[in-house]
């Protein structure tokens, strides 16, 4: 089948070399039963490639199902994929077929495969190698003839080094890898895509099609498009509805573009994969938020501690700290310590202090110069675990409230609790 015919059939627009190569590989592998791994950023259209492969294969008249592994809770994904028996777990009031059983003879598309739990990965590996699976709560081995196409926007090989993805499953899935290029790598396709979207939305909203002047067209090409085709389509729709004039200049287009270039530049300064061997140096949004909270809290504690030392160095007769502040700075200090005079708290400092005298005392300076630096652990995992424990205590183990407090999803919180072995 000609490449242009495939594009017309599935509504694919563009002629960049990277896109054409990906389509050629998809066409060549379609008539086989090989497992395919589609790799690309979010929004590049990975699911379209899975549909192309299924539609051009001998299984095209059999069922096709797309499953988002990241959208299924960890506790139920085994049941969703492989089915369960009655009474297998709380709420299993009846037996249920899984996706592999319902699409027998067809194709299953596993999107966001990198989010799949390790236990489910082991079940999937057995399914890929032997065609066998076992329902949850059953001991009977069943067989299914299903082709698996997987997709990810993560570096699965890096996840294998982190112990978050099975290496044997990675090599089993990536029998034929297809890399879908990001929109910023298809610059020649961006104006064509924008015009197509603008025409579509003009028909939908009965408006005049949007046209870009040369300066706006140049801005369209220079923008990095972190959301890829999905973001470009969204911007075209916004302009079609909200623009006052159908002929758009760069200053007008700029108002519709998110200020993401600055954020992209700042994130480029963060450690990237491979900077420190095989450790996890690429932070998720959730981990990055916790990372920032950590440093903001450390900065506040440091400022409070500096103020305390400054007050003591000036020879204050008593340190005016409330019990609450003292517990915040030094949680292990006895509460009776707070109300003691400064002479009892630090007699060396007060012995060198006389009211009315100058602030410079050699003995006090020696005291301030003689100090030991204690290196505090900056391990992100330790601080992340600490934040999670504090949030759970604050909300009396109500995980939904704790997740909202931390700014993460309840599913992510559940996974972190298991990862750090946090007891209720």
In the chain, where the domains are located = 3-181, 185-265
Give the list of residues 6+ apart from residue 142 with CB closer than 8 angstroms, or none: 101, 132, 133, 134, 135
Is there a contact between 66 and 112 (Cβ–Cβ < 8 Å)? no
Q: List the one residue out of 76, 144, 71 whose CA is nearest residue 110.
A: 71
Task: Please compute the mean of the pLDDT values over residues 31-47 and round it to a whole number.
Answer: 94
Q: What is the pLDDT of residues 66-94, one digit of tens each?
A: 999 999 998 899 999 999 998 888 888 88
- Is the pLDDT reported for residue 331 higher than 60? no
Instruction: Lowest mean pLDDT of 95-99, 202-206, 303-307, name the range.
Output: 303-307
Instruction: Lowest mean pLDDT of 46-55, 70-79, 280-289, name the range.
Output: 280-289
Half-sphere exposure of 120 (CA within 13 A, CB side): 21
Contacts 24+ apart (CB under 8 A), 185-189: 185/16, 185/18, 186/14, 186/16, 186/18, 186/19, 187/16, 187/221, 188/14, 188/15, 188/16, 189/13, 189/14, 189/15, 189/16, 189/19
**pLDDT of the residue at 260:** 43
Model-wide pTM > 0.75: no
Q: State the CB neighbour count (10 A cutoff) for residue 275.
A: 10
- Is the pLDDT reported for residue 268 higher than 50? no
**pLDDT of the residue at 259:** 67
| Distance in Å from the first CA to the final CA of the chain | 59
Residue 89 DSSP one-character state: S
Confidence of residue 300 (pLDDT cuts 50, 70, 90): low
Confidence of residue 313 (pLDDT cuts 50, 70, 90): low
Is there a contact between 363 and 392 (Cβ–Cβ < 8 Å)? no
Angle between helical axes of 190-205 and 228-242 (0-180°, round to 10): 40
Q: What is the pLDDT of residues 94-142, one digit of tens each?
A: 889 999 999 999 999 999 999 999 999 999 999 999 999 999 999 999 9
Task: Please compute the mean of the pLDDT values over residues 256-271 and round it to a whole number.
Answer: 52
**pLDDT of the residue at 337:** 42
Class of domain 185-265 (CATH, top level): mainly alpha
Q: Which CATH number fits domain 3-181: 3.30.360.10, 3.40.50.300, 3.40.50.1000, 3.50.50.60?
A: 3.40.50.300
Task: Please compute the mean of the pLDDT values over residues 190-209 and round it to a whole number.
Answer: 93
Give the list of residues 6+ apart from residue 379 with CB closer than 8 angstroms, or none: none
Confidence of residue 269 (pLDDT cuts 50, 70, 90): very low
Among residues of the chain, what percentage have pLDDT more than 70? 71
**116-150 burial, b if ≥16 CB within 10 A, otherwise e?**
bbeebbebbbebbeeeebbbbbbeeebebebbbbb
**pLDDT of the residue at 350:** 42
Q: How far apart, in Å, are the Cα atoms of 239 and each of 159, 195, 205?
A: 39, 12, 12
Token pair of 303, please?
A: 């400022």
Confidence of residue 406 (pLDDT cuts 50, 70, 90): confident
**pLDDT of the residue at 380:** 64
Q: What is the pLDDT of residues 4-29, one digit of tens each?
A: 999 999 999 999 999 999 999 999 99
Residue 318 DSSP one-character state: S
**pLDDT of the residue at 423:** 77
Average pLDDT over all residues of the chain:
79
Instruction: Lowest mean pLDDT of 64-78, 162-176, 407-421, name the range.
Output: 407-421
- Residue 142, beta-bridge partner list: 133
More confident residue, 369 or 213: 213
- CA 86 vs. chain centroid, Å, equals 35
């Amino acid at each position: 089948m000609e490449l242009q015919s495939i594009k017309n059939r599935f509504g694919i627009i563009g002629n960049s070399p990277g896109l054409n190569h990906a389509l050629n590989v998809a066409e060549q592998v379609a008539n086989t039963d090989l497992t395919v791994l589609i790799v690309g950023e979010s929004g590049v259209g990975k699911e379209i490639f899975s549909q192309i492969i299924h539609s051009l294969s001998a299984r095209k008249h059999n069922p096709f199902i797309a499953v988002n592994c990241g959208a299924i809770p960890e506790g139920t994904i085994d049941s969703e994929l492989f089915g369960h028996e009655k009474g297998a777990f709380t709420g299993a009031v009846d037996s249920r077929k899984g996706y592999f059983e319902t699409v027998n003879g067809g194709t299953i598309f596993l999107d966001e495969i990198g989010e799949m739990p390790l236990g489910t990965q082991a079940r999937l590996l057995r399914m890929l190698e032997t065609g066998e699976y076992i329902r949850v709560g059953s001991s009977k081995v069943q067989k299914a003839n299903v082709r698996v196409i997987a997709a990810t926007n993560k570096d699965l090989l890096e996840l294998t080094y982190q112990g978050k993805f099975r290496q044997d499953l990675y090599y089993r899935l990536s029998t034929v890898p297809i890399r879908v290029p990001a929109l910023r790598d298809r610059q020649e396709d961006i104006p064509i895509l924008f015009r197509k979207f603008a025409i579509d939305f003009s028909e939908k909203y009965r408006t005049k099609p949007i046209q870009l002047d040369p300066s706006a067209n140049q801005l369209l090409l220079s923008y990095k498009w972190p959301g890829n085709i999905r973001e470009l389509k969204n911007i075209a729709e916004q302009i079609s509805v909200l623009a006052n004039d159908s002929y758009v200049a760069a200053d007008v287009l700029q108002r519709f573009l998110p200020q993401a270039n600055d954020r992209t530049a700042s994130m480029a300064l963060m450690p990237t994969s491979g900077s420190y061997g095989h450790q996890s140096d690429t932070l998720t949004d959730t981990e990055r938020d916790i990372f920032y909270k950590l440093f903001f809290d450390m900065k506040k504690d440091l400022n409070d501690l500096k103020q305390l030392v400054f007050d003591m160095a000036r020879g204050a007769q008593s340190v005016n700290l409330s019990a609450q502040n003292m517990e915040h700075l030094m949680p292990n200090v006895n509460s009776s310590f707070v109300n003691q005079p400064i002479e009892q708290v630090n007699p060396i400092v007060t012995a060198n202090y006389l009211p009315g005298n100058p602030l410079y005392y050699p003995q006090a300076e020696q005291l301030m110069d003689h100090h030991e630096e204690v290196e505090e652990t900056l391990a992100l995992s330790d601080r992340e675990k600490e934040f999670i424990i504090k949030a759970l205590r604050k909300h009396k183990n109500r995980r939904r409230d704790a997740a909202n407090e931390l700014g993460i999803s309840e599913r992510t919180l559940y996974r972190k609790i298991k990862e750090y072995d946090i007891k209720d």
